[in-house]
């Protein structure tokens, strides 16, 4: 005796399987596959809100389409950032701060990824020396230079930024303390 299967029943089972896979991929903490314990949760109070993004503000690591930015994001996810060097210097008197402490590297990365680009800027400041440089385990590095706490210099152009408060607070605090690790 041959069994007949209902096309509607097959469609319902298929839909249930798709829904189950979507739930496991999106609904579970860290997704279906997790993050391997490397990148961790980067959401925080400073994370750009969807309304900001929809109104034209682009997170810095999304705006920067360079290979260096891609390598920085991959190195963070893989846990292969060896050190970070920061400088907050308004006028030329502070020394950079460099550290290999993974918690501080994470704090800098987390604050950096919350910065959004709002548009082009004609701001150019000659006495502001703010930068961040991440060094990877292969000895190469990538970073950003800021014209001010409101402007980023990238590929020869300046851009207005928002959401940089935590980033510059960290830089200012560390650079006022001294040089960090040698």
- Segment 24-71, tens digit of pLDDT: 666 554 444 444 444 455 555 555 545 555 456 788 999 999 999 999
Sketch the domain layout of the chain as residue ranges: 1-34, 40-177
DSSP assignment of 86-141 = EE--BSS-PPPEEE--HHHHHHHHHHHHT-EEEEEE----SSB-EEEEEEETTS-E
Report pTM: 0.68
Which phi and psi (to 5°) does residue 133 adopt?
A: -135, 125
- Segment 120-144, tens digit of pLDDT: 887 666 666 788 999 999 999 999 9
Q: What angle do CA 77, 143, 161 make, to 5 degrees?
A: 100
């Amino acid at each position: 005796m041959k069994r007949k299967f209902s096309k509607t029943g097959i469609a319902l089972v298929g839909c249930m399987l798709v829904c189950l896979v979507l739930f496991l991929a999106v609904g579970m903490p860290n997704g279906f596959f997790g993050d391997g314990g490397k990148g961790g949760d980067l959401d925080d109070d400073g994370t750009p809100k969807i309304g900001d993004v929809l109104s034209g503000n682009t997170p810095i690591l999304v705006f920067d389409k360079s290979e260096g930015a891609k390598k920085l994001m991959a190195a963070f996810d893989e846990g292969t950032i060896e050190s970070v060097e920061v400088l907050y210097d308004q006028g030329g008197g502070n020394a950079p701060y460099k550290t290999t402490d993974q918690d501080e590297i994470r704090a800098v990365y987390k604050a950096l990824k919350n910065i959004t680009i709002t548009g082009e800027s004609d701001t150019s400041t000659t006495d502001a020396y703010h930068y961040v440089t991440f060094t990877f385990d292969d000895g190469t590095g990538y970073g950003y230079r800021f014209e001010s706490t409101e402007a980023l210099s990238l590929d020869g152009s300046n851009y207005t930024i928002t959401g940089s408060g935590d980033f510059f607070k960290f830089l200012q605090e560390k650079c006022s303390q001294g040089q960090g690790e040698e």
